[in-house]
Amino acid sequence: MAPAPYDGELANAPGGGSRRPRGPRSAWAGRAYRLSLVVATVLLSLGSAASLACLAGLPTRLLALPGAAFAFVLSRRTSGRLAGEELLPSVVFAAVAGVAAALAWLMPRHPVVGAAAFVALVTASGWVRRFGRRAGRAGAVVPLALIASLMAPVGVRGWWPVGGWLALVALLAFWWGPTVRRVGHRLTGRPGWAGRRPGPLPPRRPGTMSAGNRKALQTSVLLTAAFTAGMLLYGKHWPWTVLSAMVVGSATGGRANLVLRAAERGVGAVAGTLLATGLAAVCHPEGAQGIVLILVVLTTAAGLREVSLPLFVAALTAMMSLLNGYLGRFDVHLLPIRLQALALGYLLAVIVGWLLAPVRAGDVLRFRLTVALDELAAVLDARRTGSGADAALVRFEDAAAAVEEVAAPHRLHRLLRSGSRPGVPHRADLVDALRDCCRPLRTLAAGPVVMPAEARTEATVATLRSCLADQRAPVGLGRAVATGFPLTELDAAVERLARALPALAARTPPAERAVASEQPPDRINVPR
């Protein structure tokens, strides 16, 4: 009986997640479970923030709404695998949340100083990634804290003691995430999200700026332009321009991914603004009813995050519009201004990312694919040496998820190009082939017996890694002699990966790509 088709969902659980194939029902059940984790985290953070507000004698909404925003932006980031790994990021997140309160107080009085401090914080958060994984994880939470502060501003009242209480709210929101996941895992056995690490950037090309420095330069220029244009054109509504520029400009998948993100978010922003207008006309966002409505829309946004990015942005924009109405800043006449401010932020992000030290989509895909193949080889090596493949499998699935993050523009290009170049491999074929490796590799890693044919598969993967490093197409493709699932399916996926590899080879004409992808299996050059 043929194995069930893989549904494309990447397991990212500690220990490798589920070891059996997952169909559509299981995929939707997993999404519903992860949504319940997000809702529980947001409600716990909201409740703890409201309790702190009562303890401090502050208005409840002053801390409760930022608490919900903190939990929401962290819901897909915190891994919860090792508590020690999260200690430094949690402290940084809390500190930046407190600083954000000071910036909210400073902006109306000294906008230039406040904007400069904001830009410096975001730029430094990306620059510290050069100092290793721990520094990168700590820096990655800085934009999240600032984005949450823009989503739920604390107002312009004195920054102290509001800043201190807000830092405590952020610290609690940070740790509610891993706590809820651990409890959910113990009760149900389902792991939830493994976490969102900063996506890897491609290495520096000879004679060019490193990708990290390019990203820091782009971020500083983009935010400076967004603050300047937003404050000059839209006055106190500048946060919409800065927020949209930050969200789109954070893309690390290259220029094509940047344009696609801007287009998807633009469509979602328009739909969300119209939705918020209708909801505000029917249900006035005031009092407890307003908070419930905001939480319902926020929950809807969390559920749509894994389904459709435009729908997610639409729900998130609607939630922010309702939040502005709850805070007394909702006006139908401001909707065109809000859309213009959002569109300006998207446009600035595309212009800066496209013209200023751009990151090429092919370089990003090549580098992330190289990382994924390295982890695939590590899984096979761990099985051969008997050192345990679970940890290597988790790293591979994280790397495969990073490849999936930048796949959308390549798949769109393949769709638009379909029929024009038959037989020519496309970059999107590489992503599909790597995705097809996940299920059989997961099953293979769970097996106790090492099959002799795995050595041939490992050698083929080594050849593909060498071809990627040298930016050349493989001479041909060989088939390992496998006996049944899962190795047969894994070999077939690796074969498709090798046939599509010419699409990433440096300066390979389309005709040569087609020839390389059609080489017969007996012409493979694989070290034995």
Query: Tell me, what amino acid is at 294?
Result: I
Q: Which region among 90-104, 212-226, 483-497 has the lowest average model confidence (pLDDT)? A: 483-497
* pLDDT of amino acid 157: 59
The reported pTM is 0.78
| HEC readout, 474-507 | CCCCCCCCCCCCCHHHHHHHHHHHHHHHHHHCCC
Q: Are 204 and 211 in contact (CB under 8 A)?
A: yes
pLDDT at 145 over 80: yes
pLDDT at 290 over 50: yes
Report which of 504, 505, 251, 197 is spatially closest to residue 359, judged by C-alpha positions: 251
Question: Where are any strands of DSSP class E within 250-315?
Answer: none
What confidence tens digit (pLDDT) does each residue in 239-272 have? 989 999 998 887 777 788 888 888 988 899 888 8
Question: Which of 446 and 435 is assigned the larger pLDDT?
Answer: 435
Report which of 519, 516, 520 is spatially closest to residue 503, judged by C-alpha positions: 516
What band does 297 get if pLDDT is binned at 50, 70 and 90?
A: confident
pLDDT at 23 over 60: no
DSSP 3-state assignment of 105?
Answer: helix
pLDDT at 222 over 60: yes
* pLDDT of amino acid 153: 65
Residue 423: CB atoms within 10 A of its CB come to 11
Separation of CA 220 from chain center: 21
pLDDT at 12 over 50: no
* pLDDT of amino acid 208: 64
d(CA 230, CA 184): 43
* pLDDT of amino acid 79: 57
∠ CA 157-162-165 to the nearest 5 degrees? Answer: 165
The reply to whether omega before 202 is within 30° of 0 (cis) is no
DSSP 3-state assignment of 136?
Answer: helix
d(CA 72, CA 301): 10
Phi-psi region of 376 (alpha: psi -120 to 50; beta: other; left: phi over 0): alpha
* pLDDT of amino acid 346: 93
pLDDT at 189 over 90: no
User: Which H helix or E strand runs over 53?
Assistant: helix 24-56
Question: Which of 19 and 479 is assigned the larger pLDDT?
Answer: 479
Report which of 419, 430, 425, 410 is spatially closest to residue 508, judged by C-alpha positions: 425
Average pLDDT taken over every residue of the chain: 79
d(CA 302, CA 314): 11
The reply to whether omega before 486 is within 30° of 0 (cis) is yes
pLDDT at 523 over 50: no
Q: Which residue has the tokens 């895992």?
A: 185
- pLDDT, mean of residues 125-136: 81
The dihedrals phi and psi of 208, each to the nearest 5 degrees, come to: -125, 170
Query: Which range, 5-14, 21-30, 314-323, has the best average confidence (pLDDT)?
Result: 314-323
Domain limits, the chain: 33-188, 211-357, 361-523
* pLDDT of amino acid 50: 92
* pLDDT of amino acid 477: 54
| HEC readout, 330-391 | CCHHHHHHHHHHHHHHHHHHHHHHHHCCCCCHHHHHHHHHHHHHHHHHHHHHHHHHCCCCHH
In the chain, the N- to C-terminal Cα span, in Å, equals 33
DSSP 3-state assignment of 283?
Answer: coil
pLDDT at 175 over 80: yes
What band does 154 get if pLDDT is binned at 50, 70 and 90?
A: low
- pLDDT, mean of residues 74-78: 73
* pLDDT of amino acid 28: 75
* pLDDT of amino acid 29: 76
